Structure 1
């Protein structure tokens, strides 16, 4: 199932979110894959300046952790889904899920969910 709605984090646009680095982040979609063996909830975001931001990977990873804890996890709980992990993905342009695009910057991180906390996993 796909969803593209979310709870607002940026007051003027419910699909835009504030992150610690100050980058512009927009929700592309949520993907419910909780009925698969890995029980994943995916949150996919578009970050137009991602390629430039990748020069400071520490900030990008901090943004991804923030998006897991402050956006994806509350959405997962709101929906009452039985996910065991959340995968956060960032791309510099909107892409169809599973698309390989060498000209588009993309980052993915996986987080286990324990006690309502996102815990980073090696992906």
Structure 2
């Protein structure tokens, strides 16, 4: 079976790179090149149809980062916050969350934290 595109991790001059082969053309991408490509692809994907679904799929196997680094700051444009999460494969991703959604998010996270505390708390 012929695969027109192949992607593989290779060692290149003491570092790692990605070799992308499409038919007979080959490109080598180092980490900064790959970061730029991923970001550019995400911008293009956001413009494509069909849109990303509004709800998560219970059948899809999502890439999940365990205990990611995060950063938050006040949104300079509207009332709310900007949340950044670091993913080891996707880089830092930012979300501008308006106050109304931020309150709902805080409530949902508090509910998870409370449920987690109840599950793991030891009886006296």
Which TM-score bucket, shorter chain as reference? under 0.3
TM-score, scaled to structure 2: 0.26
Which of the two has higher C-alpha Rg?
A: 2
TM-score, scaled to structure 1: 0.26
